[in-house]
Amino acid sequence: MKAILMAAGVGSRISRSVNKPKSTLEVDGVPLITRTIDMLISKGIEVAVVIGFEGGEVRKALKGRDVRFYENPFFRVTNSMASLWFAREFLGEDDLILANADVFWGEGIYDSLLADDNDVVMLADMSRASVGDYFFKVNDGLLVSYGKDLPIEDRDTEYVGIARLKRNVIPSFRKNLEELVEQERYDLWWENALYEYITEVPVHVKDVSDFFWAEIDYIDDYKRILEYIRTGNLSVKVKTEEI
């Protein structure tokens, strides 16, 4: 199995406060991305990271680890669709995990991801639909619609920022990726190459509401991670209205 972590973005909602890639914020004395990479490597997974904004800081955090780096030099004017395109050679004949590097994986997240036997699975939290960053509408476990601005009445869950693809769907996934880039859709997220499957290949949504996770979009997200590390209290994952 392989994994690609997206770590190129500026993260403008928090970068003004921390002045560094949010994936390098320390959790219990260890950069978040280092913690994730060490976990994946310990599972025998070959890992690649796409860097851009302050890429040297990410390289520093992962110094000495067996990681392949790709760079998106246009990180200020593109989105993660372009970042994944720069790492497209890494899309081979292995099962693949795709994840945003600013996500904290609580205990059990990885095992839950691997336990799902569907060809395409995206992790989501059914306990969080009213407040969050990106939402899914789900029908019988399958992704129906999605978006930051999905009407609240259509929201079933918040997307976690982690997905897994089996090797047999990698060729069509890469084809979707390349076609979107050829159409100059650099403003899209890498997940849009998955959403292309909805009408032809089921995209399964796995609920991980029993586990702690957090994607760092705001400083409060980071504070929740630190509080969870300190207390082990799962309730701190609940979001309040963002400023």
- What is the sign of the dihedral through the CA atoms of 136, 139, 140 and 143? negative
User: Which DSSP string corresponds to 158-204?
Assistant: EEEEEEEE-GGGHHHHHHHHHHHHHTT-TTS-TTHHHHTTTTTS--E
pLDDT, tens digit (0-9, with 9 covering 90-100), for 165-179 = 999 999 999 999 999
The number of folded domains in the chain is 1
Q: What is the pLDDT of residue 107?
A: 87
- As a whole number of angstroms, the distance between CA 240 and CA 243 comes to 9
Read off the pLDDT of residues 49-88 as tens digits, 9 standing for 90 and up.
999 999 999 999 999 999 999 999 999 999 999 999 999 9
Assess if residue 227 is contained within a domain.
yes
First CA to last CA distance, the chain: 39
* Structural tokens at position 54: 């302050």
Q: Flag whether 240 is in a domain.
A: no
Domain that holds residue 39: 2-232
The enclosing H or E element of 230 equals helix 219-231
Residue 85 lies in a domain: yes
CATH of the domain at 108: 3.90.550.10
User: Does pTM top 0.85 for this prediction?
Assistant: yes
User: What is the per-residue pLDDT across 204-238, written as a single tens digit (0 to 9) for each?
Assistant: 999 999 999 999 988 889 999 999 999 988 888 77
